[in-house]
Structure 1
Amino acid sequence: MNRDFQLSGRSPVIAINGMAATSHPLATLAAVDILRDGGTAADAAVAAVAALCVVEPANTGIGGDCYTLISKPGKPVWGYNGSGRSGANASYQPLRDQGVREIGDSVHSVTVPGAIDAWEQTLKAHGRFGFDRVLRAAIQYAESGFPVAQRVALDWQRHVGKLAACRGAAKHYLFNGMAPKEGDVIRFPALAETLKTIALKGAKGFYEGAVGAEMAATVAARGSFLKDEDFANHRGNTVVPISTEYRGVDLIEIPPNGQGLTALVMLNILENFDLKSLDPMGPERFHLVLEAARIGYAVRDTHLSDADHMRTPVAALTDKAWGKKLASLIDMNKRSELPAALTPGSNTVYISVVDRDRNAVSLINSLYSGFGAGICTERSGVLLTNRGACFTLAPDHPNTFGPAKRPMHTIIPALAMKNGRCEMSFGVMGGHYQPMGHVQILLNMLEYGMDVQQAIDCPRLFWENDRVAVETSIPQRTMDGLRARGHNIVLRDLPWGGAQTVKIDWDRGVLIGGSEPRNDGCALGY
């Protein structure tokens, strides 16, 4: 689609040697500096995510989790699951005995943070530099200060009450009891020292020693099952990615406990419809995608868990024939009632980087909710994830809270491959919205010919409970058409998700980047 230069918007970024796209300009610059210094896409991605853990503290942190997908020409895609686990002694029964029916925002939502291990393993497997080099920008921002960006300031303000409830969080992340304003210069001296420890000692300096002991003591004091050894023993693992083919393109995702299979199920449903004939901004297109998503997410909520606890194989859930049966549940004229269980026979940062050798890194890092659990260590300044809120306390479910277990996880990096080569590294931040975001971006490009920036800019919608929350840019006629089909339409205060994309044009030898206008960031190449 040709861009109308009389309308607001921005062009894709085009470069030759390397490119990064992140949700904050300082993080994008940190990545490009690494690429220009001879680092790989993996080095640049870790540098960017570390910077984001400083400059976007509501969305991510070193106390969170991380997933990575890396494509190298001629090599199988490498995946790493950097999500943490519950304590070895965790059990749902004591909580149910107390009358608790969901983990919610309790201390039991804190799981061992997996990000630092994932960064280290990514560098060891695919990098040229060590922590001492790639953490340099993050340490500088934390120690010398950084200016607060516009969207960062908005997100910070929304969580003042949460931060004020924890002495450590209030100490490090509030200033005279308030959130900083756009343009304020902020420093995190304690976090800087913790990052220096990681730069010197590696992941061991985070999970063991004073930092690891403080994380364990901080949550133990609140009644957590987590102990020192749960932090010291943490290890992520390499994984074989999962995929499905849609219109000649393979969508690559991290396997469970990640929710990437949700996007694959959705695409397997949608390939049975002629989307190209539908208006990309019309009610028919959005109704169809909403219905496919409702089915895909129902599959997720029924089956998805830690891989060691999955009861139905991923291959069965992503089977094309089953996808066709699921497609038959959709009525193009109305919102359908779905079966209770479908069985076959938020807040995150995302980084996309491609280097001169066309190594592509798709990496996502998250605290889950804004500022995670709102629990922060007092000396080391580490905000802890609340990813365990994604566990269920239902006694007979694969995702039930239990010992040394990973919860169902929302963060999902993605790659689009064609004929064995990486066509695009991309991801969409936004908690549970992410599979919907992956599908919408792919449809925008493959069915409607949008470029990477147009595909990101396009209006979005998703549901919250029984309501479909739409962005204000959705046309009125589309909202009316969705209401006529039985959808309860409401306008959303905040936009849905945050995407970053780098596309590889192999024929012309260029990289084409797009970045989310709903955040502060940018794509930048050289």
Structure 2
Amino acid sequence: MPFMDLSSPKLDKKNFSGSVLLCSILLLLGCATSQSQVDPSPTYQSDHGKKLVGEEAMVSSAHPLASEAGLSMLEKGGNAVDAAVATAFALNVVEPNMSGIGGGGSMLIWDHENKQTDYADFYTAKRAETYRDLDYSQFEDGAFNLLSTGIPGTVDGLLQALERHGTMSREEVMAPAIRYAREGFPVYLTLARFIRDNEEKLSRYEGARRTFWPGDEPLAVGEILKQPELARTLQNISDEGASAFYGGENARDMVELLNKAGNPVTVKDFAEYEPQWDKVPLCGSYNNYTVLSAPLPQTGFYIIQALNILENYDLDQQGLPIVSAQAFDILSSTMRLSIADRSEYGTDPNWEDIPITGLISKEYAEKRREQVGQGTVPDEIEPGDPSDYTLRNTLPQCSEVGAGRSADLEKPDRPEIKRPAASYAHTADSFDNDNYEYAEEGAGETTHISVVDPEGNAVSFSTTLSHVFGSGAWVNGFLLNNSGFNFSYLDGEKEWNSSHPYRIRASTISPTIILEDGEVRLVIGAPGGGRIPTAILQNIVYILEYGLDPLDAVRMPRIFPGSSNPEVQVEKGFDHDVLAKVRNMGYDVQALSSGYARLYLVSVEEGKIIGVSDPRHDGEPRGF
């Protein structure tokens, strides 16, 4: 069979995932085309276990044991929220480098029976009044300055999600996590490498050193990691609820440790912390699909804005970006525009006026589209001005699902904001390739869970400690986050005046759910720092626009551009002629040196439920 011309407008989308598997997707393995030889793919793990096809329910996460925990809830008759909460607590145990009860997250829920959404932001927060007079010149680069630790939201957020939408008891959903912590599990390659490479961070507190470096040697692959202190803390939460974490001895222990390090947080701050359930998920459309994603200060608006821009292009007629320079340019220039807006407007709307309705409007996308796919590449992309496009119109399908274009928040007498120095702001959620140094194994400080249950309910949930092993600060078996690096801070000399007691850090996490005719079509999200939204966007396009099989879509080589310069990093697998053409356009094409986002998704297609965990990492889906 001859290789297919992927740039041909006569390409049959219905047969795309089967036929293209023989040519374009196998470009990942170094397959030849009629145009030229292409580079071999990155050395990923085997695809074994990375894709599962079921008929009723599915969980996709970053570790098989965590997915097993979620599956066990579904097999007992639990719903998507039960499964997501069980999976999340289990990941807190088996992926301690990437998440934990000392961190926070963002959860998007689809209630199929009522055709409604719900959303919780329980990202790590700071009680603003506690920090108003703090001298932020004390901030230093690195994870060890505990001024950067925010109040962890994971425990309260997960338990409130369970209470609002779950069907099972706290004891049931937490049982797998407690068992994994008490009985232990085999250390896998990625975790072993992170333990070995973070000796300094894991040695600053006796409990962490004892757990991860027993006998002054790092735990090796295959050794059993037991966490008895974490098991006790989780058991207390299971027995008593969130008060066991945010009050009593545990809260006092956290406050004492942080106060000694100069962080002024109080027991009252912990006791009064509440997840934010009053936010409305952002909603947009892409062709015939309804797109639901996380509101600010998370980055769902990037996903919706970029899809708005791409909607008018028949990308499947252009060919895949790996073999079409025009498609490469369209996709890259769109991402550069949205990255520029993200860097300008991605902050806490409780504290700063953000024209969010304009950012995700079709009219603003039409204006931004003037800079897309022009065949010439400007050195820098400036943020746009969406303030003229803030009509309060709501897409009909968004009104029907209880989501919409959130009204712009007006906050008179807004206090002046003082931001951290640029050198400190260049962190895991920095927005351009030139601003972010990735760890050897990729951005490893976050994780994601996607769930669909037999009733059609869905959860997309991202959670993080911020940096690998967070701050390294160890309390009662768990590590505290260092999420405060990406806050903007109030100038202590200005009058304090705010509409909200807590400030939530900005983040690039973008948990997303896509509907088709009121039914779940795709649940998707990723860890990966500043590369999260670009990876999610590309995979949405590959699945919905190009019709790729979900695993083939996740395996596709990715494009990672920035807005402040024409550099674009690419994974191996792009046709040499395409790279030469886009370089002639002005792109500074660089091989991806390290760092990537890892997709965990569930796709519902023609009566089948397909779970995929990114072959770049350790996860596996589970379902039936």
Same fold (TM over 0.5): yes
Give 1:17-416 correspondences, 5 Å limit: 17-73=56-112, 74-91=114-131, 94-96=134-136, 98=137, 106-238=145-277, 239-280=279-320, 281-282=322-323, 283-338=325-380, 340-344=382-386, 345=388, 346=443, 347-377=445-475, 380-392=476-488, 404-416=502-514
Q: CA deviation at 1:518?
A: 0.9
Range with bigger deviation, 249-258 or 170-179: 170-179
Q: CA deviation at 1:308?
A: 1.0
Q: CA deviation at 1:62?
A: 0.7
Q: Secondary structure at the match of 2:469?
A: coil
Map Cα deviations across residues 349-382 of structure 1 (whole Å, 9 max, x no partner): 11111222121111121112111122222xx022
CA contact (8 A) 2:98 2:447 kept: yes
Map Cα deviations across residues 147-168 of structure 1 (whole Å, 9 max, x no partner): 1122332333333333234444
Q: CA deviation at 1:289?
A: 2.2
AA aligned to 2:549 is D
Q: Secondary structure at the match of 1:459?
A: coil
Q: Secondary structure at the match of 1:368?
A: coil
CA contact (8 A) 2:70 2:83 kept: yes
Q: Secondary structure at the match of 2:156?
A: helix
AA aligned to 2:170 is F
1:471 matched residue in structure 2: 571
CA contact (8 A) 2:336 2:381 kept: no
Q: Secondary structure at the match of 2:211?
A: helix
Q: CA deviation at 1:495?
A: 4.8
AA aligned to 1:59 is M
AA aligned to 2:153 is G
Give 5+ residue unaligned stretches, structure 2.
Answer: 1-16, 30-45, 389-442
Separation in structure 2 between the aligned mates of residue 293 and residue 175 of structure 1, nearest angstrom: 45
**RMSD between aligned residues:** 2.6
CA contact (8 A) 1:259 1:409 kept: yes
Separation in structure 2 between the aligned mates of residue 357 and residue 35 of structure 1, nearest angstrom: 11
Q: Secondary structure at the match of 2:377?
A: coil
Map Cα deviations across residues 236-284 of structure 1 (whole Å, 9 max, x no partner): 0223211211121122112111111111121122224332222311343
Q: CA deviation at 1:392?
A: 3.7
Q: CA deviation at 1:229?
A: 1.3
CA contact (8 A) 2:143 2:470 kept: no
C-alpha change, 1:99 and 1:328, in structure 2 (3 Å) is farther
Q: Secondary structure at the match of 2:125?
A: coil
Match of 1:417 among 510, 515, 533: 515
CA contact (8 A) 2:466 2:481 kept: yes
2:600 matched residue in structure 1: 500
2:440 matched residue in structure 1: none
Q: CA deviation at 1:213?
A: 1.4
Separation in structure 2 between the aligned mates of residue 317 and residue 284 of structure 1, nearest angstrom: 25
Separation in structure 1 between the aligned mates of residue 72 and residue 620 of structure 2, nearest angstrom: 15
CA contact (8 A) 2:335 2:561 kept: no
Map Cα deviations across residues 34-80 of structure 1 (whole Å, 9 max, x no partner): 11112211111111111111111111111111211121224211111
2:536 matched residue in structure 1: 438
Range with bigger deviation, 347-356 or 110-119: 347-356
Identity %: 28
C-alpha change, 1:170 and 1:218, in structure 2 (3 Å) is same
Separation in structure 2 between the aligned mates of residue 14 and residue 266 of structure 1, nearest angstrom: 29
Separation in structure 2 between the aligned mates of residue 272 and residue 95 of structure 1, nearest angstrom: 49
Give 5+ residue unaligned stretches, structure 1.
Answer: none
CA contact (8 A) 1:21 1:515 kept: yes
Separation in structure 2 between the aligned mates of residue 215 and residue 120 of structure 1, nearest angstrom: 20
Separation in structure 2 between the aligned mates of residue 289 and residue 176 of structure 1, nearest angstrom: 51
AA aligned to 1:334 is T
CA contact (8 A) 2:139 2:145 kept: no
AA aligned to 1:485 is M
CA contact (8 A) 2:124 2:152 kept: yes
CA contact (8 A) 2:337 2:383 kept: no
Separation in structure 1 between the aligned mates of residue 582 and residue 200 of structure 2, nearest angstrom: 36
1:490 matched residue in structure 2: 590
CA contact (8 A) 2:337 2:381 kept: no
Q: CA deviation at 1:94?
A: 4.4
AA aligned to 2:67 is T
Q: Secondary structure at the match of 1:436?
A: helix
AA aligned to 2:151 is V
AA aligned to 2:317 is S
Separation in structure 2 between the aligned mates of residue 116 and residue 259 of structure 1, nearest angstrom: 22
C-alpha change, 1:299 and 1:177, in structure 2 (3 Å) is farther
CA contact (8 A) 1:330 1:336 kept: no
C-alpha change, 1:368 and 1:437, in structure 2 (3 Å) is same
| TM-score in terms of structure 2 length | 0.77
C-alpha change, 1:219 and 1:172, in structure 2 (3 Å) is farther
C-alpha change, 1:484 and 1:67, in structure 2 (3 Å) is same
Q: CA deviation at 1:413?
A: 1.2
User: Is residue 523 of structure 1 aligned with residue 565 of structure 2?
Assistant: no
Q: CA deviation at 1:394?
A: 8.9
C-alpha change, 1:12 and 1:206, in structure 2 (3 Å) is same
Map Cα deviations across residues 184-216 of structure 1 (whole Å, 9 max, x no partner): 211111111111111011111111111111112
AA aligned to 1:424 is L
AA aligned to 1:266 is A
C-alpha change, 1:329 and 1:202, in structure 2 (3 Å) is same
Separation in structure 2 between the aligned mates of residue 313 and residue 410 of structure 1, nearest angstrom: 18
Q: Secondary structure at the match of 1:369?
A: coil
CA contact (8 A) 1:90 1:225 kept: yes
CA contact (8 A) 1:501 1:514 kept: yes
AA aligned to 2:145 is S
C-alpha change, 1:339 and 1:284, in structure 2 (3 Å) is closer
Separation in structure 1 between the aligned mates of residue 281 and residue 467 of structure 2, nearest angstrom: 26
Separation in structure 2 between the aligned mates of residue 496 and residue 513 of structure 1, nearest angstrom: 20
Q: Which one has the largest radius of gyration?
A: 2
Separation in structure 1 between the aligned mates of residue 209 and residue 502 of structure 2, nearest angstrom: 30
